[in-house]
Amino acid sequence: MASGKVHDTINLLLGGFLSGAVFMSLDSFLGAIFFLLGWLFSTFIFGPDTDIVPGKRNWVLKFFLTPYSWIFKHRGISHHILFGTLTRVLYLIVLGAVIVSIINSFFYPELGLGNYGKALLSFFLDFDLDRPLYKGLTWFYIGLFLADATHVLVDHFSTFLKKSSR
């Protein structure tokens, strides 16, 4: 397995290059910025290794990220190239529901958790890639996904090199 510094270096170099490529190919500043933000979010805050080091560099968020490490074991689904990013996005959606329900119970009991679910469903049903919010979030997700995929591929390549050198 590659070290955290190796992951960071590869992700930063590749993320910068790909953000530029997104900007140049699409002529979309919004797409490039959201892509880069997603890439950096995955690289530094909430990526495949969050399950083993939830508070190592993001100590402010440790309280929110530690339950992820209880649910997902390292090199399990969190390192799956297709489902790893999805598990983290779903975790954030559920975490949002928990936070909203806590806030609602103390400050706005009349709103309830049902409204969060309705708003979320409406958000996904109204998806329109021509709207800036949806376009930005799509590029953010693509950045998350590709940064995660890079992380997983670097892990596999590193493991392959270690096994073949024996």
Which tokens is 149 given?
A: 């995929």
Per-residue pLDDT at 3: 65
* HSE-CB of 120 using CA atoms within 13 angstroms: 13
Dist CA 50 CA 64 (whole Å): 11
What is the full per-residue pLDDT of the chain (166 aa) written as tens digits? 556 677 778 888 888 888 888 888 877 788 889 989 999 998 888 888 777 765 566 677 788 888 888 888 777 888 888 899 999 999 999 998 888 888 877 777 666 667 778 888 898 999 998 898 899 999 999 999 999 998 888 888 877 877 777 6
Cα→Cα distances 87→17, 72, 84, 93, 104, Å? 26, 9, 5, 10, 25
Per-residue pLDDT at 7: 75
Per-residue pLDDT at 55: 58
* Residues 105-122 pLDDT 10s: 777 766 666 777 888 889
Dist CA 150 CA 15 (whole Å): 10
**What residues make up the domain containing 123?**
4-164
To which H or E segment does residue 17 belong?
A: helix 4-26
10 Å Cβ neighbour count for 48? 28
Dist CA 38 CA 133 (whole Å): 14
Residues 6+ apart with CB under 8 A from 77: 83, 84, 87
SS3 state at 71: helix
Tally of domains in the chain: 1
